[in-house]
């Protein structure tokens, strides 16, 4: 899932806020590349480029992950990769990859006003 927000919070403090949300919603710290209960990433921040030890914007893996790109392009099909000047929609991975296996099924369901992952 990808969302777009507007904020006055600078990128690094925003990352800290997002990590607090992850922690409050039950994320357990594990080794890298392990399954996560929740994972909130900053993919883009307008046209800004950020290179910090704790944060890289655009996200380092953005152009390699169709599960980032496809829903991001559904929000805005005219996005340009900051610093590169290329349209994200022109990347080959957008055309080649299948996004998420089984994409036609509903992944989430609502029960009593709360959204749950449908684990069928």
Choice among 32, 39, 78, 105 that is catalytic: 39
Choice among 8, 30, 32, 41 that is catalytic: 41
- Residue 18: name the closest of 33, 1, 38, 32 by CA: 38
Active site residue 30: no
Give the containing element (helix H, strand E) for 12.
helix 11-24
Choice among 30, 36, 48, 109 that is catalytic: 36
Count how many residues are written for the chain: 120
Active site residue 41: yes
Active site residue 48: no
Distance CA 113, CA 120 (A): 20
Distance CA 22, CA 41 (A): 10
Contacts within 8 Å (CB) and 24+ apart, 56-59? 57/11, 57/82, 58/82, 58/83
Active site residue 118: no
Catalytic residues: 27, 36, 39, 41
């Amino acid at each position: 899932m990808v969302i777009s927000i507007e904020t006055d919070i600078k990128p690094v403090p925003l990352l800290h806020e997002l990590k607090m949300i992850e922690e409050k919603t039950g994320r357990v710290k594990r080794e890298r590349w392990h399954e996560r209960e929740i994972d909130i990433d900053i993919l883009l921040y307008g046209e800004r480029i950020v290179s910090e030890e704790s944060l890289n914007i655009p996200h380092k893996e953005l152009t390699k992950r169709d599960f980032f790109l496809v829903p991001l392009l559904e929000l805005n099909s005219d996005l340009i990769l900051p610093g590169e000047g290329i349209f994200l929609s022109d990347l080959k991975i957008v055309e080649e990859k299948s996004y998420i296996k089984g994409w036609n099924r509903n992944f989430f369901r609502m029960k009593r006003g709360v959204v749950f992952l449908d684990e069928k």
